[in-house]
Amino acid sequence: MKKLIGLSVLLTLMVLLAGCAKDDGEKVYVYNWGEYIDEETLDLFEEETGIRVVYEEYEQNEDMYPKVQSGAVKYDVVCPSDYMIQKMIENDLLHELNLDNIPNIKYIDPIHLKSSQEFDPGNKYSVPYCWGTLGILYNKTMVDEPIDSWGVLFDEKYSGEILMIDSVRDAFAIALIYLGYDLNSTNEIELEEAKILLQKQYPLVQGYFVDQVRDKLIGGEAAIGVIYSGEAIYSSRENPDLEYVVPKEGSNVWIDSWVIPKNCRNKENAEAFINFMC
């Protein structure tokens, strides 16, 4: 009986130390932004490694976070943005990476690794995937002047032609920057001013969207939209009347990175996936 108890304790410790239950064989469960990876890339990973990708998408960091936090669904790899990675580290939701299993990290530009240390000191938990800016995409044929300021989003003459991004953080960042404050401000008075500005803007806005900002601007359904730089590049190729600008007041430079939740199913397969994506 004593030996059996000892074996049970040993097995329990092994599971705790491993952190991820390997009950899914050669699979990797990936949770990522919508339209962020070409399906052919996933096929190439499967062919090269023999690991099948189970893929799911989300629209916002705020959609992803509660699912990972609750553990209702166990993902092996997730791709949050910088501020959300910091929050996940603080709340002990992420595994430290075994970089011996991610040798291709050497191909990541050191500039991005250095920038990532602002939210992931020592690059212990994340590997950069994409970076970019938040800005304004506008249709040159539908505005009266070249756009260079966030102020256009609050201009009544463009009422019904403005598309805002469906992100509380980004909306507040825009308002704070336009008001002359730090986009990461936690000052209650400044945040209240930003809230009031956004409330006044609300009647001017056609809608709050994520991917649909791109589609509507390509289709000429609005004159101005808040968008991420990657989406702007694609949109401008599809419609040459569209032009992207980072407003003169400044903007947010973001980094989306691969991380591994602590409740993942297979950490080694997750690291193999991250290594492939470097």
Q: Are 33 and 58 in contact (CB under 8 A)?
A: yes
pLDDT at 275: 98
Tens-digit pLDDT profile for residues 99-144? 999 999 999 999 999 999 999 999 999 999 999 999 999 999 999 8
The residues, ordered by sequence, that sit 6+ positions from 126 with a Cβ below 8 Å of its Cβ are 85, 94, 97, 116, 119, 120, 257, 258, 259
pLDDT of residue 24: 52
- What b/e readout covers 213-252, taking b as 16+ CB neighbours within 10 angstroms? bbebbbeeebbbbbbbbbbbeebbeeeeebbbbbbebebb
Residue 25: pLDDT band by 50, 70, 90 thresholds?
low
pLDDT at 4: 32
- Residue 211: predicted pLDDT: 82
Report how far residue 236's alpha carbon sits from residue 217's, in angstroms, rounded to the nearest whole number. Answer: 9
Which residue do the tokens 């991005």 mark? 112
CA distance 3 to 5: 5
**Is a pLDDT exceeding 90 seen at residue 1?**
no
Tell me which amino acid residue 45 is. F
Q: pLDDT higher for 234 or 1?
A: 234
Measured between alpha carbons, how far is 220 from 196 in angstroms, rounded to an integer? Answer: 30
Determine how β-strand 205-209 pairs with β-strand 127-139. Answer: unpaired
Q: How do residues 202-242 score in pLDDT, each as one tens digit?
A: 999 999 998 899 999 999 999 999 999 989 999 999 999 99
Domains 19-126+259-277 and 132-254 alike in fold: yes
Per-domain residue ranges of the chain: 19-126+259-277, 132-254
Tens-place pLDDT, residues 30-85: 999 988 999 999 999 999 999 999 999 999 999 999 999 998 889 999 999 999 99
The residues that bridge with 27 in the sheet, in sequence order, are 52
* pLDDT tens digits for range 199-210: 999 999 999 998
* Paired strand residues for 131: 255
| 19-126+259-277 CATH pick, 3.90.1150.10, 3.40.190.10, 3.40.190.170, 3.40.470.10 | 3.40.190.10
Token representation of residue 207? 């809608």
Was domain 132-254 assigned CATH 3.40.190.10?
Answer: yes
How confident is the model at residue 21, as a pLDDT? 47
* Average confidence score pLDDT of the chain: 91
